[in-house]
Amino acid sequence: MSEDDAALLARCHHPLVRDLAWIVLAPDLIRTPWPGRPSRADLGLAGDDRLGDWLDECEANPQALERRVGNTVDGRMGHYHERLWQYLLDAAPGTRLLASNLRIHEGKRTLGELDLLYRRLDDPTPVHLEVAIKFYLGLPAGPGPDNGQARWIGPGGADSLATKREHLDRHQLRLTERVETRTTIRQHTHPRDLGPSREVVIRRQLAIPGVLFYPWQAPMPAPLEAATAHLRGHWLRWGDWPRLRDGLARDTRSAWLVKPHWLALPRDEAFVPLRDVEARLAQHFSRPAAPVQIALLGPLARGRRHQRLFIVDDSWPLQIPLPPRPPA
Where are the domains positioned within the chain? 222-312
Residues 6 or more apart in contact with residue 283 via CB below 8 angstroms: none
pLDDT tens digits for 101-113?
999 988 888 888 9
Give the CA angle between residues 182, 187, 193 to the nearest 5°.
85
pLDDT > 60? residue 194 = no
* DSSP β-ladder status, 231-237 and 272-273: unpaired
Mean pLDDT of 255-279: 96
User: For residue 115, what is the enclosing H or E element?
Assistant: strand 109-120
pLDDT of residue 219: 93
Mean pLDDT of 118-126: 93
Q: Can you tell me whether residue 130 is helix, strand or coil?
A: strand
pLDDT of residue 199: 67
Query: What percentage of the chain exceeds 90 in pLDDT?
Result: 78
* DSSP β-ladder status, 109-120 and 152-153: unpaired
Q: Can you tell me whether residue 57 is helix, strand or coil?
A: helix
pLDDT > 70? residue 183 = yes
Mean pLDDT of 309-323: 95
pLDDT tens digits for 212-222?
999 999 999 99
DSSP, residue by residue, 81-112 = HHHHHHHHHHHSTTEEEEEEEEEEEETTEEEE
Q: Whole-number mean pLDDT of the chain?
A: 92
Rounded to an integer, what distance in angstroms lies between the CA atom of residue 201 and that of residue 220?
A: 42
Least confident of 20-29, 271-280, 303-312: 303-312
pLDDT > 90? residue 195 = no
- The closest alpha carbon to 184, from 197, 205, 202, belongs to 202
Asked if residue 181 lies in contact with residue 104, where contact means CB atoms within 8 angstroms, the answer is: yes
Rounded to an integer, what distance in angstroms lies between the CA atom of residue 22 and that of residue 28?
A: 11
pLDDT of residue 43: 98
Mean pLDDT of 144-160: 96
Rg of the chain taking only CA atoms, in angstroms: 21
pTM (2 d.p.): 0.93
